[in-house]
Amino acid sequence: MELVRAGMNRYRLPRRGKMRVSGMVYVNPNLKRLLQEDKSLAQLADAAALPGVVDPVVGMPDIHEGFGLPIGGVMAVTPGGVISAGAVGMDINCGVRLIRTELAAGELTVPVLRKLMERVEDCVPSGVGKKGRQANLTARLFERVVHEGVRALIEGGYATSRDLDCIEENGCLAGANLNAISPAAAKRGAVQLGTLGGGNHFIEFQEVTEIFDVELGAKFGLFPGQFTVMIHTGSRGFGHQICTDYSKSLLSAAKKYGIELPSKGLACAPADSPEGIAYYQAMACAVNFAFANRQMITHETVGALIKVLGTPEKLGMRLVYDVAHNIAKWETHHGRRVLVHRKGATRALPPGHGDNPTVYRDTGHPVLIPGSMGTASYVLVGTQDTAASFYSVNHGAGRTLSRTAAAKTITRDDFERSMGKVLYNTRSYKDIVDEAPQAYKDIDEVVDTLAAINMTRLVARLRPLAVIKGKD
């Protein structure tokens, strides 16, 4: 797939074959070379062939091969276009949130960090298939959570009204309908609220090492040397089951409506068809579950830190923001209503945009970009120039090695050298070697790609102190 340079860190993927629109890929020359090593550009071209797709389909700096739409892909469609489960992803509303404190990271010694890790692990079950610590309670909350999102947790003291203003969509995507999900999905979701999961999901203790924009940093409550907590997880087995179910049913629907699919991974149906509406309703259930899941994990994590470090007043823990990565939403772009699929991509609204939460209306909401395990994470904001990508930016660093390849090629020495002094919670490096920094692109280079062309503004850089990973 040949790319044509369209400016600094911008390359156009010209229309060819059955593509209805062109593509635009935001990479620098170094990251561009990596695109020849997988099928991400071919997958972007496939998405450009779907009915109703809007010009352009977009590849973010962390783009890499996925199932259907590439991870780091953005696809918008008109109301008469299609909706695709493969353009949202398996882990619906995989996302990240940042929690600030009033503590200086330098005050926390290694033994204290270890104690914090152990306490959090006691409170937050982690790993594939794990059930929530309060499974009976969350099962009773399940139906409310999928329809109301984080708001359903306020009554029980697991969230506050202020939290809602610091979460994308205020913690609830409208349109959820529990009747659109299978019994198998409901069974998995009912017991997994408040769990971390495996893979690249984590709870990380961090230190703010640099503030690039002092004014914005202050408005977000961030300062140099600050101790922060980042949480990265999604809708767990609930969202996975929904994507599995609808990837099959949308394949049949595409045939029914005469849609020529470029790949099975982009199985789809007209967004206004019964099948398309049902997928959106089910997806919204998973979106709301994921927002609530991260909120429950936050509640448990804050409780664990209080037990180790002292009173809530001393800690000053508050949610900075929570953003989704894998989601489809109806939004207004360039004066028209479109359904934006973001898969491994993050919404980034600029200052003054009407869809910003009230607390961040004048600044633009914080955009959270986690690094790979052992590397820095970033806080950014979008700019007016981000309109070109449907107000979307990358969601992380992006893989360069598959999990299998990482496990085969990264040695213990390689892994330990890359982690440096960062603490981690597994006895064997083999449990998490597939998440080593060497398996990912350089997060600094990925973040700088958009910052260099004024699509984002850097606010803060955070380095990891300790990371809790879910064990597969």
Query: Distance between CA 244 and CA 278 in Å, rounded?
Result: 14
Query: Distance between CA 288 and CA 308 in Å, rounded?
Result: 31
Q: Nearest Cα to 305, choosing from 322, 317, 294?
A: 317
Structure tokens at 412: 């213990």
Contacts of 39 (CB under 8 A, 6+ apart): 65, 70
Query: Distance between CA 442 and CA 370 in Å, rounded?
Result: 12
CB 425 within 8 A of CB 377: no
Alpha-carbon torsion (434, 371, 288, 117), positive or negative: positive
**Which is the catalytic residue, given 64, 147, 365, 395?**
395
Structure tokens at 64: 């890499």
Query: Distance between CA 402 and CA 386 in Å, rounded?
Result: 30
Clarify whether 395 is annotated catalytic: yes
How far is the CA of 78 from the CAs of 14, 49, 331, in angstroms?
21, 14, 10
Query: Distance between CA 7 and CA 25 in Å, rounded?
Result: 11
Query: Distance between CA 193 and CA 138 in Å, rounded?
Result: 6
Alpha-carbon torsion (268, 273, 277, 282), positive or negative: negative
Q: Which runs of consecutive H residues, i.e. helices, occur in 200-235? A: 214-219
Give the residue numbers annotated as catalytic, written as ranges. Answer: 395
